[in-house]
Amino acid sequence: MFFLSAKRFIFEAQAMKKKYLFSFITLFALCVFFFSCSKPSCPDTKCYNGGLREGGGSNCGCVCQRGYVGNNCDTEFRYAFLGNYSAQCYDNNGFGCGAFTLVIGTSTDSVTAINIGLNTVTLKATVDPDNSNVSIPYQTISGTTFLGSGVFQSGTIALTLNSAAGNVTTVTYYQGPKL
């Protein structure tokens, strides 16, 4: 009797093994068929700089990472602001201090970093990709300390710059269009 039970156990184990093997092979074949036959959505859309493809059919596009723009996320957003600006200057007493050319250039610090050239001083700054606000962090150049903020809007720059040299602190406002 024990011999028959053991024989039956082995037979059922072999049948179960075949059943699971068949299920595994079927599942594997379906996975291979499904993934090898499906086409990726937007196969011709290439997104750069970490951008992600989105949509399908004729509505393909890229969702860009912060700091990048363009159909393929291939342009740093700060490039829209680079160039020369014809800025008028006013101090904190409302007196005009002349016309300046502000030169906005790139910085290698990050895709949001810019340099603001003002006469003989080049200030490091960042531009917020969400609202085009400019932030000039605390920095000391040739004994003068600078700190400021501003905004790029409709092809115009507006900056408020605090500078301190010795006991003299000045607030200067610059505003003007891109040349």
pLDDT band at 137 (very low <50, low <70, confident <90, very high): very high
The radius of gyration of the chain from alpha carbons, rounded to an integer in Å, stands at 32
What is the pLDDT at residue 151? 96
- For 5-41, what is each residue's pLDDT tens digit? 545 545 555 555 555 545 545 545 544 444 444 455 7
- Partners of 127 in beta bridges: 134
Q: Which residues touch 148 (CB under 8 Å, ≥6 apart)?
A: 123, 125, 134, 136, 159, 160, 161, 162
More confident residue, 32 or 110: 110
pLDDT band at 177 (very low <50, low <70, confident <90, very high): very high
What domains sit in the chain, N to C, each tagged with a CATH number? Answer: 37-73 (no CATH), 77-177 (2.40.128.20)
Contact criterion met (CB below 8 Å) for 87 and 96: no
- For 77-99, what is each residue's pLDDT tens digit? 899 899 999 999 998 888 888 88
Give me the mean pLDDT over the 47-60 stretch. 90
